[in-house]
Structure 1
Amino acid sequence: MGCGRGNNDVGGAGEHHHSRGCVCEVVRAILEIQNAAVQDECNRCTTNCFLEPLGGIVSPARSNVDTRVFTLLNKDGSPFFATFNTPNGSCHCVSIYFRVEDVFDGCCATLRVLVPQDDNGHTVDLLNDYGTAIDFRQVCKVTQFEASDSCITVDLDCFCAVQCIDDVDLGICD
């Protein structure tokens, strides 16, 4: 029952229906936009997760993109994170950035964990010095992303917010 939604009294006579959470609807929309990635003219609005076509979030809009990068917030407001392995297996790192791969069974999703990188293509370690929380100073260093081989399955109703970050080309379909 994300974003404060739940059972709503429809007719005032005790009729109830269940409404999906807004995070679920946004992630479904992101998947549809990624799947329908087409080359269209630029759109100036760059902050809306529902913005079409894929590539509209970047400025200027690029036509060679295949991913809408997003983050999720837990119900307590903290960033949701998942681990990934570096290609050489030397690091079990943490990321708050995702690409939706599939949405199924109502509101479950498979998400690909994205590798946060700086301007030089180096992986940014998002954890604080104690390894116990996300260090937001490190988040500010992230300027690009790389696809990892790590995927997770989540229940989208467990989150209260989704934030779209960027439209990028990760070479997913190459």
Structure 2
Amino acid sequence: MGKNCHDDNNVEATKNCVCDVVRTIADAQDNVVDQQCDVSCAQSIRDLVSPVSGNGLDTVPFILYDKKGKPFKGYGAEVRAQGGGPARFDCYDSFIFRVNEVDDKDCCAVLELLVFDNDESAGHDPCDQIDNEQVSDLERTGICITVDLNCFCAITCLPAVSVL
């Protein structure tokens, strides 16, 4: 098991709530592919797996926070062809993720960076990235990072959306 968020002595914890929530999101998203708060992880998961047929929702986007309460920003790059010229890297950063898989044994997860309408920069904080953006403009980048979910102490889930 991972260590407790507030324990700097590496004492084993009995549970990692961030890992558990991300694992639940991954399971719910897998079910969609196969088929009390207004905004919360539990509500987003319920919306995602709602029995209402054809709701079109396939992703619970979320933001992770480190042990100091700071939002985690992921970085990655893709290769862009230059119309006959040399290929170049395009760098992206994002505070918003979609879980692609979670390893139950060590609580490592593959997260995909989500951005708005191919916007490469997330700004300085999550509100810079999401404020006044259209939900329908949230899109997958195909850029994935692997993280140890034991390194995070908090998670904010955004409402379930369709990004596939």
TM-score (norm 2): 0.72
Q: Which runs of 5+ in 2 are unaligned?
A: 81-87
Number of equivalences = 146
Q: Superposed, which structure 2 residues align to 1:86-165 within 5 Å?
A: 88=80, 91-104=90-103, 105-115=105-115, 117=116, 121=117, 123=119, 125-127=121-123, 133-134=124-125, 136-144=127-135, 145-165=138-158
Q: Is the CA contact (8 Å cut-off) linking 1:33 and 1:53 kept in structure 2?
A: no
One-letter amino acid matched to 1:72: L
Aligned pair partner of 1:74 in 62, 66, 69: 66
Aligned pair partner of 1:63 in 44, 55, 58: 55
Q: Which runs of 5+ in 1 are unaligned?
A: 8-15, 39-43, 57-61, 128-132
Cα gap change, 1:161/1:18 in structure 2, threshold over 3 Å: closer, same or farther? closer
Aligned to 1:130: none
Aligned to 2:26: 31
RMSD: 3.2
Q: Is the CA contact (8 Å cut-off) linking 1:55 and 1:63 kept in structure 2?
A: no
Deviation at 1:32, TM superposition (A): 1.3
Cα gap change, 1:2/1:169 in structure 2, threshold over 3 Å: closer, same or farther? farther
Aligned to 1:13: none
One-letter amino acid matched to 2:110: T
Q: Is the CA contact (8 Å cut-off) linking 2:47 and 2:160 kept in structure 1?
A: no
TM-score (norm 1): 0.68
Deviation at 1:19, TM superposition (A): 1.0
Deviation at 1:29, TM superposition (A): 0.9
Structure 1 counterpart SS, 2:41: coil
Cα gap change, 1:28/1:87 in structure 2, threshold over 3 Å: closer, same or farther? same
Structure 2 counterpart SS, 1:68: coil
Q: Distance in 1 between matches of 2:55 and 2:79?
A: 28
Structure with a larger share of its residues in helix = 2
Cα gap change, 1:4/1:67 in structure 2, threshold over 3 Å: closer, same or farther? same
Cα gap change, 1:155/1:46 in structure 2, threshold over 3 Å: closer, same or farther? same
